[in-house]
Amino acid sequence: MGDEPAELRRDIERRREDLGETIDAIGDRVSPGRMIERRRNRMASGMQSFKERVMGSVSSGTEMMGDAAGSVREHVGPDAVRQQTAGSPLGAGLVAFGIGFIAAAALPPTPRETEAARKAQDALEPAKDAIAQSAQAIAGDLKEGASTAAADVKDAATEAAGTVAESAKQEATAAKEDVRGITSS
Can you list the alpha helix ranges (DSSP code H) found in 56-110? 58-70, 78-85, 89-106
Write down the pLDDT at residue 14. 92
Write down the pLDDT at residue 82. 60
3-state secondary structure at position 116: helix
For residues 158-180, b (16+ Cβ closer than 10 Å) or e, as one string? Answer: eeeeeeeeeeeeeeeeeeeeeee
Cα(52)–Cα(43) distance, integer angstroms: 14
Contact call for residues 61 and 90 (beta carbons, < 8 A): no
Name the stretches of the chain with pLDDT < 50. 69, 72-75
Write down the pLDDT at residue 73. 44
Cα(158)–Cα(139) distance, integer angstroms: 28
Cα(169)–Cα(160) distance, integer angstroms: 14
Amino acid (1-letter code) at residue 133 = Q
Write down the pLDDT at residue 72. 41
Contact call for residues 91 and 85 (beta carbons, < 8 A): yes
Write down the pLDDT at residue 141. 80
